[in-house]
Every structure is written in C-alpha cells, then in structure tokens.
Chain A
Amino acid sequence: MSHLIAGFPDGETSVAIADALVKGGASILEIQLAFSDPSADGPAIQTASTVALEKGYSTKQGLEIVKKIHDMHPDTPIYIMTYGSLAFTPGVENFVKMCKDAGVSACIIPDLPFDNDEGLTAACAKYGMENIPVAAPSMTQARLEEMASKGFKYIYAALRAGTTGSQTVIDQATLDFLDTVGKGGAKVLGGFGIRTGEQSKVLCKHVHAVVAGSVFVNIMLKDPKDTAGVEAKARELSGL
C-alpha cells in the first residue's frame, strides 16, 4: 500500500504520482486528504499537507483528485487517510458517503479511536466500506487485543512508537506486535518509516500489505517533478 497526498505538490502531479505508484507495483493506494493540523504525521507530511491546502485541495477538491485516480485505476483499491475533524465537521456519515462517491473503499482516521469513533465504523459498513483502525506498538496488550478482536477486516499497524517519517527497525518485538494485531483475523497493513526494499522484503512475510508513505513524499519534496523517482522507489519496495 503506497501513500500520497491529494493535491501535493499540485493536483495534476498527485494524479501522476498515483500512476507512478501503481506502475511501480502498488496494490493499494492510501490517499491522504490534507488537514491543517496533522499531529499524527511527521514534518514531511505536514509540509506537504500545507502545500496541498495552499493550492486549494481541501475535502471536496481532494476527493475530485481521488475520483480521477479511481477512474484511471478502477481495480486498485483506494483507502482515504485523514483526520477526525474533516470527517466530523460535515457529519461522519456524509463524509463517508462523499468518499464512497469518489470511489474510496476504506477510511483510515487515526484520531477517531476504535472505541469512540463517532459512528465511523457503522457509516463505512452502511456504504460497503471498511474502517481501518491504526494500531501502535505502545498500546497496552489489553487495548491491542481489544482492537484486534473487534472484527475489523484490516488493521493498520504503525510500527514505530512515534509519528511518520523516520526509520523503522524490524525486530522480534515488531514481529510479536504484528502477530497480536492479526490475532482476531484482521489482515494487517504494516508500515511507518519503510525506506528500503530490504525492509519491505522482511516485513512482507508477516503482513497482508507493506505500507510506505513518507518515503515517497520526501522524494517529491526534494524535487516536485520526480515522479520517475517515485516509480523507481515503488518498484524497489514492491520487489517488481
């Protein structure tokens, strides 16, 4: 699963990035709707989100990009990642419906906790979508098991303790964490800080899909035209 931000570095290029990611072997696209206060993301994604918002890509315009990408790649599932404010303010059900209409098949909203989600899981179910909660290694075993047993089809496992953007080490503790996340039968999407094909290769044996995000954002922050670099990185990570 590969990540991009709708509207970063601009609308057209974000569509080209999606294209590059799919060509590079991405099987799922995680598209982030830019939010003014992305406190669960690191500086790269925060900076990119600010750019997208300055260019006018808030919810509606962001979802237009999503729709475009969906029309180009109808067989690649698109998961929306964003923050609770963008879902709650227009009304959670209304937000989910807007996503559905744009061709989205799941929502990842880390600050709507699974045990107090403002109706997100129910709204997703109503529209034939999934709510994908985000698990973190710092969760207590009890809370993690509670999340794992709730019947989610997918759980996103954030492998590092902190926010997106720095290197991840895949050690025994990480593998144990992934085991617990998948205990209740959820398919595990594992990521946060994946940088190299080597990491991806180790990780992919233990998860349903490897998630890579800020690695691509960083490429585009360095050179906003470098979609070829994005495609090459995607190839490296997907092992194509």
Chain B
Amino acid sequence: MTGKDEDNQLFLEAYRKMVKIRIFETRVLYLFLQNLIRGPVHLYIGEEAVAVGVCSALRKDDYITSTHRGHGHCIAKGGDVRRMMAELLGKKTGYCKGKGGSMHITDLSIGILGANGIVGAGTPIAVGAGYALKLKKSDQIVTCFFGDAAANQGSVHEAMNMAAIWDLPVLFVCENNLYGISTGLREVTRVTDLAKRAEGYGFPGITVDGNNFFEVYETTREMVERVRSGRGPVLLEAKTYRHEGHDIGDPCVYRTKEEVEEWKRKDPIPRMEKELQYRKVLNQSEISMIRTQIEQEVDEAVEFAFASPEPAKDEVLSDLLMREG
C-alpha cells in the first residue's frame, strides 16, 4: 500500500468511528427518553471530530483519560459498543459490571484510564501515568481530555505545571464547546483561546477547529510526534459545540436557536463526508452502506445489552479491594 492508501484507510476508519459515535449517542438519547437508561448522560453529538481526530493520531498502546462526556472517547479509542450499551443499562456484561454507568464507562485494556464524574480530575491521573511511562523509558504517551469549564479547576493547573517541569509525555486536549453546563466561557475566563494558557506553564498550545477532522488529526499528529520524542507536554484546544444539552433533559435556555443552528451547519460529519468525497475516498452509496452497517452494529449492541443478565446483588460487595496482599 502506498502512503496515500494508508492515509485513506485511516480516514475511512475515522469516518466510521465518527458515525458510530453519532449513531450510538442518538440511540442512547432515544433509550433514555424511553426511560430505559438511568442516571446522568452527557452526549458527545457534535464533537465527534475531536475524539476521533485525536485518537486517530495515537497508537493503540497509548493511554487516554476521559471525562463525564466520555462515550465518544471510548469509541474513538476502540471501545466495544456492546459492552458500552450494557454498562449504560447497568448489566453484568457492561464495562464496569453495572457499577459505573455513563460517567465511568472505561476500558483499561485499550488504555483508557477512566472516565470521570469529577470535572478536571483526570488530569493529575494522566500526569501520573505519564510519569510512570517516563520512568519505564516507554515511548507510549498519555492524552488527557478535559473541557473548557474544567480548565478553571485547580487540579488542571497543578497537573499542567507538573507535566511541564518533568517534561512528561502528556498531550492535553481541551474540548472547548463554549459552555460548562449553562455557563458560557466568556463569563468565566478572560482569554478566548484557552491554548494561550500553555505559555504560562512553558509549553506550546495550539487552537484548532474541532469540527474539522483533518485539522484536528494533522495537528495532533505533529504534537504527538513532539510529545513522544520526550520534549514534554503540549496543549491542544479544539473549538467545538455540543448539539444537545449538557445532559439529557437540559432545556438549554442559556443559548440561542441561532447559535445552535449556526454550529449545526458546521457539523463535523457532513464536513468530513464532503471532504472524503472530494478526495474520492468515499462515494454516496458507500456512505449509506457504512451508516446501515453501523446502525446494525448498534442494534446488536442494544440487543446484547437487553439480553444480558443483571449483576447479582451480592456482587455489590466485590471489586473494592484486592483480596490478596
């Protein structure tokens, strides 16, 4: 295969993942509204190009830390939608055996060091994993996703400084969707580009259009190269927007219809389709075929989840501490 073919293969795979996130999340929304999924659920719809653009530039054995809006990260890193759906339904076959739910869906075996219900809290954990990799002289890296609102948490400050002073292999990715619940970024911070904060810690920060897969991917690739070569952390800020509310049920009174419509016109998925068609990687009938295949995959995930057993009550007491010394 030529380099170009490999790229196209990667783009196709990335496109499939973006569509998978969209279809998975749309199904989650549907099931939630049917009262079949419980607990807080934060959908990734509209932000697909960030998780997929970033994760497409990572190696399989690289680590990530995720957030409360973590379904997209899990799929982008290669997670199994069947086990994700089972977790959302609180089933024994779910990633966390029903103990975690939406905010904690995680697959350690593919390098996801947790999704987190505490905003910002994944950042110091990413730094610790980065430190471990450095001690082990590994060339793996850790990517740390966090939101624009998380950027104002003390934990993020401590983590970024620590990663900087020890030149740790950590790629910080700020998913700037302009809001933390109802609070607009402009209300809570003086800078418009959060990437600027990197300078204060002594490492590079770059802002990209988070709705443009190619821009996210290409920039991440360059940054990953730098991080992997041992030159310390970087901060990527991806500007994006969530189409849905903060969580399902959010009436979204804090943003205008016009703003939402404007961002929907910048939807990352049609943009990627257009670009892939232009590059002759994909045609319209292939697009429909991919969508049909993924709808089927998600159907199967839902069936699997519903058919799965509930965790037994006594399992509630296990998994806390390792039994042996």
- The answer on A and B forming one complex is no
